[in-house]
Amino acid sequence: MLKLLTRFVKYSLVFILGGLFVFVAGDIALSLRHPELQPWHTIKLKQEFNASMAQASDWDSYLQLEQALFNELEHYNQTIIQPAIQLESSRYQAGGNKLQRRLGQDWNRSYKLDTQQPRGVALLVHGLSDSPYSLKTIAQHLNSQGIIAYGLRLPGHGTLPSGLDDIEWQDWLAAVRIVDSHIRQQHNNLPYYYVGYSMGAALGVKLTLDAIAHNHKTPDQLVLLSPALGVSKLARFANLQRILSGNEMFAKARWLDVRPEYDPYKYNSFTKNAGRQIALLINQTYADIETLKKRGKANQLPPVISFQSVVDATVNAVDLVDKLYAAVDNDHSELVLFDVNQMSYYKDIISYDPDSIIQALRRLSASKFQLTLITNHNENTPGVTELTWSPDDSDFTRRPLPLAWPQDIYSLSHTSLPFPPHDPVYGYNFRNNEGRDIATLGNLSVRGEQGVLTMPAGSLLRLRSNPFYSYIEQRITEVITKKSPTNHY
């Protein structure tokens, strides 16, 4: 019997190790097809913040370290990066590319928007591989409503894509905690709103769960856009290639994508480590949510309002409800879903039926929170209606909105929610003073043979700004002013 058990264990180990070798070898073989790595893929900036610095850091010292980081980046830009640039539209061109030059300041950095006689304070945190620019418009709107807005640049972001190769999710959370602590010390008499986009939303949930676990004060309201609370389970194994990729011969294996860097506020290249870290963050957040439920502390969660597209190639809307909203038991919390464009001529080319997803979400949401769906009036019109199910009512209310789907847009996307159509970088409707369209990353419309462009076709198809942005802005305003919904957009 012992001999049989020994043989079973031996063969099991051989099978597991063999499978691991095949996986790593196959991954490395595929990665060798990547383009050659450039300095922005290999330079390691030394002045970046990490979690070990947290105890000795505050908001002011974080900004000082960030300034040192950008000074270091500028040194490399002049000496190593500039000679390697082969793309006229590179984000690393001296003075920035033409998209960056449209803005009055560098939105890759942390910022504070102050106001006289503030009525509240907000912390805004961007997503993975993004920069503080992604929540700039929302921050400016909040500021116009009397809210002091802190925009945080997370470690590893806004500089070189190589910054995400060795980062850990604890570094991001430590940076969020520094600003959170500063807000509590400097503005403890003001209502406090946390606004997170994608990974920034996940960090806000984690921050809140930690506060509850340690009996600390939470933000008064969470506002989440495309919250990254559901990614591929395989992402946690993304760093297996590091068994060999420490060798310079296999350095490309550390990258999922190696692409030209023409986007001034988001990396196009993507490290496998970044995918692993967001997966680890989400898994830990899931575990914390389960602990919260078991300890009967779900009622300590502050009100949460989330905005999410029913179809999202990055995160799963059902996971959002099944994990986060399963713990929400608050009449003031709400999940807002944007349906696909239900115009009849899109029915035949949409690959699945979103109605089944919506029905599943409705069943999951029973008696927990308010569920809102933005969908067409009917399949013959692009105009949209807001349907809302209250926590204690199986029926719904209907409110027509003064908004409509543009003719050539069939759905929202993970990347589109925080950007208005007129955004100067990602908008599809950005125009000059004469009313003429100006090229952005969101309105490029090109046709030709496949495999010719350095930009993947999927990037051209993916929506980069939101035709219903004004609705999100108005709903956030209602949250902070405690006003009832209106149709004033």
CATH, residue 317: 3.40.50.1820
- Higher pLDDT, residue 405 or 237: 405
Examine the pLDDT at 331 and tell me if it is beyond 50: yes
**Model confidence pLDDT, tens digit, residues 240-296:** 555 555 555 568 889 999 999 999 999 999 999 999 999 999 999 999 999 999 999
pLDDT surpasses 90 at 9: no
pTM over cut 0.85: yes
Whether 488 maps to a domain, the answer reads no
Containing structural domain, residue 205: 2-481
**pLDDT of 22 higher than 50:** no
For residue 173, what pLDDT band results from cuts at 50, 70 and 90? Answer: very high
CA distances (Å), origin 74, targets 41, 45, 158, 159, 284: 16, 11, 13, 10, 36
Q: Is the pLDDT of residue 488 over 60?
A: no
pLDDT the model gives residue 322: 79
Q: How many domains does the chain have?
A: 1
Q: Does 298 fall in a domain?
A: yes
What average pLDDT does this structure show over 32-40? Answer: 84
Q: Is residue 155 part of a domain?
A: yes
Domain assignment present for 454: yes
**Quick check: is 107 in a domain?**
yes
| Residue 457's pLDDT band (cuts 50, 70, 90) | low
What was the pLDDT predicted at 323?
Answer: 84
Task: Give me the pLDDT at residue 137, please.
Answer: 98
In this prediction, residue 366 has a pLDDT band, given cuts at 50, 70 and 90, of low
In a domain, 58, yes or no: yes
Region of poorest pLDDT, from 274-283, 309-318, 348-357, 476-485: 348-357
Is residue 477 situated within a structural domain? Answer: yes
Q: Is residue 162 part of a domain?
A: yes
